[in-house]
Every structure is written in C-alpha cells, then in structure tokens.
Amino acid sequence: MNRVPTYALYGEEDGGRQQDWLHWETIQSRSRLHGYRIAPHRHERFFQLLSLTGGWGHVTLDGTGFDLKPPVIVVVPALTVHGYVFSHDVEGVVVTLLERDLAEQFEAPPSGVIGSGTAEVNAALDTLLAEADRPGGWHDLAMRAHITLLQVALHRARHLPAPRSQGAARARLHANAFRFLVDRKFRETRRIADYAAELGLSQTHLNRVCRQELGISALTVIERRIALEARRQLLFSTLTIKQIGAGLGYEDPAYFTRVLKRVLGVTPAAFRNRPES
C-alpha cells in the first residue's frame, strides 16, 4: 500500500544499512543532480535538518507548503513526507541523523520550518559536524553532547519571544507554538481548552490567532493533525479502522468515521480502498 517512496537518502533505496552517527552534504550536491526538485518521499529511520543560507526554496511537509527564505531551518522527523524545490543558487546543508539517537536524549522536535534562532541552531550544527568530521578523544560522548545541544537549540528556537511591539509577530509565534503543541499532544487531547491553557491564552484568543494566521479554527488544526496520522496508518499499517480510531482517542468508531470524512472528504474505508494513483 506504499504510495510514497521510502529512501535512506533521496534517490537511494533503503537497503537496511546503518549509518555511523550522521551524514551531511550541501543542498547543492544532491539537488543539482535532480534538477533542483526533490520529489515527495520519506525516511523510515532518519531525522533530517535542512539549513538554507542562500538562494530560496519551497518545501512541502505532509502536504503543507512553506516558502523558504534564508536564514531558515527545516525540521523533518522520520516518516514525514517531504519534497523541495530550490533555486539554482541555493546554499546550505542537509544533516541526517538516526532518529533513535535523538530519542535517547528527549523527544525529537516535530516537523516544521524555523525562521528565528537560526544562528544558534547553525552554531550547534557546525560544532556537531566538526566533531563528526574530525573525531577526537571521547568521540562517542562528544557526539551525544553535541546532539543534545542541537536539540536544545531547536527547541529554544521554536519558543523565542516576539518583540512586544509587533502584534503580528506574536500572533504568528502563538500559531506556530500551537501547531507544534498539537504535533506533540494530539493523541492525548482534542480539547482546545487544554492547548490554550498550556500556551497561556484564552480559547477565544487561540481561535482568533488560528483564523488570522492559518485561516482555520483551532479545532480544525487539531482534527487535520489527527487526520494526517490516521491517513498514514490507513496507508501504511494493517490496523483496523476501529483500532486506528481508538489509538487516536476515538472510542466511538462512528464518530471517528464522521470526523475523517469531514476532513478527508471520504470515509476511512473509502480512503484505504481507493485505487493506486
């Protein structure tokens, strides 16, 4: 039922090979070989960071598009379907880690695009790559430390405060923080009140921010994230629809079916059984 190619690195079939700590390359080196277009694909075990420092690009992450203007960081956890288009003068690096190495420290960051705090993230990337390229004494310990510092930089970048005088920037920050929080907690709760409380916002303000910045309600953000996970499991697992719904917090299969039909446009059964494209 796989409709999206799964690669080790883009264009390279996953032959079960294990990578030693990480792989990195310039964006130019691989994108040039493919006409600066990387078709949607996913990685089963790998966590990737793309740091764009020159030129421009566009990325789709699980069907959502983002324009990329440097400096910007793209976060791509394992199983995230992603594709790129780059300008011919693109500059930057792509760093690939085994997601299990991040999980040993704390939860890997969710997928997304980071436009603030990129200097700190790039500094952490530079020290990590320097250690990987020129191993010194206590190399394993140093690599773990650098990976942890990279994760800290990523998490901090996602929560940088916006200048108080810039209301629009604060709204964008709140909208992004809400999306990242939904990525982490969509299996635990669908209550807008729970997310608003954790973000320090009223439910009314959270809904206003979502409509202003994302064009949809807060509930729709949550339901679309649930539908994305359900879609992945319908395509790539053998779980029953009832089991998928229960795992996502829907004990009533009929209600789960209604929610997915509203978001996907078809019932879960019809989505799973549709002919290959």
pLDDT of amino acid 78: 85
**Mean pLDDT across the stretch 8-29?**
64
Give the residue from 154, 155, 233, 151 showing the smallest Cα distance to 187: 233
Rounded to the nearest angstrom, the gap between the alpha carbon of residue 174 and the centroid of all alpha carbons in its chain is: 17
Could you tell me if 114 and 35 are in contact, meaning their C-beta atoms sit under 8 angstroms apart?
no
Q: Check: CB of residue 249 under 8 Å from CB of residue 243.
A: no
Residue with tokens 């020290």: 127
Residues β-bridged to residue 54: 91
Calculate the average pLDDT of the chain. Answer: 84
CA distance 147 to 271: 39
Measured in degrees and rounded to the nearest 5, phi and psi for residue 52 equal -95, 120
* Percent of the chain residues topping a pLDDT of 70: 85
pLDDT of residue 104: 59
What does the pLDDT read at residue 22? 83
Please give the C-alpha separations between residue 238 and each of 241, 242, 243, 249, 271, in angstroms, as whole numbers. Answer: 9, 11, 10, 18, 14
Cα-based angle 124, 128, 133 (whole degrees, multiple of 5): 145
- The domains of the chain are located at 22-158, 167-216, 220-273
Residue 196: the pLDDT is 93
**Strand pairing partners for 67?**
58
Is 220-273 CATH 1.10.10.60? yes
Q: Which of 11, 177, 2, 195 is nearest to 94 (CA)?
A: 11
Tokens matching residue 2: 């796989």
- Name the band, by pLDDT with cuts 50, 70 and 90, for residue 277: very low
Assign residue 56 a region: left if phi > 0, alpha if psi is -120 to 50, beta otherwise? Answer: beta
**Comparing C-alpha atoms, which of 123, 38, 126, 121 is closest to residue 82?**
38
Tens of pLDDT, residues 1-16: 445 555 555 555 444 4
What is the third-level CATH fold of 22-158? Jelly Rolls (2.60.120)
Structure-token pair, residue 132: 């990987």
The tokens of 155 are what? Answer: 């998490």
pLDDT band with cut points at 50, 70 and 90 for residue 91: very high
What are the residues whose beta carbons fall under 8 Å from the beta carbon of 59, sequence distance 6 or more? 50, 65, 66, 68, 74, 82, 83, 84, 113
Predicted local distance difference test score (pLDDT) of residue 45: 84
pLDDT of residue 1: 44
Q: What is the mean pLDDT of residues 30-35?
A: 93
Q: Check: CB of residue 125 under 8 Å from CB of residue 51.
A: yes
**pLDDT surpasses 70 at 161:** no
**Which residue type occupies 270?**
A
What's the whole-model pTM score? Answer: 0.58
User: To the nearest 10°, the Cα dihedral for 153, 157, 159, 161?
Assistant: 120
φ, ψ dihedrals at 114, nearest 5°? -115, 120
- C-alpha span between 37 and 88 (Å, rounded): 10
Tens of pLDDT, residues 168-209: 667 777 888 898 899 889 989 999 999 999 998 999 999 998
Give the β-pairing of 46-54 and 37-41: unpaired
52-77 confidence digits (pLDDT tens): 999 999 998 887 888 898 999 999 98
Which whole number is the average pLDDT over 35-47?
89
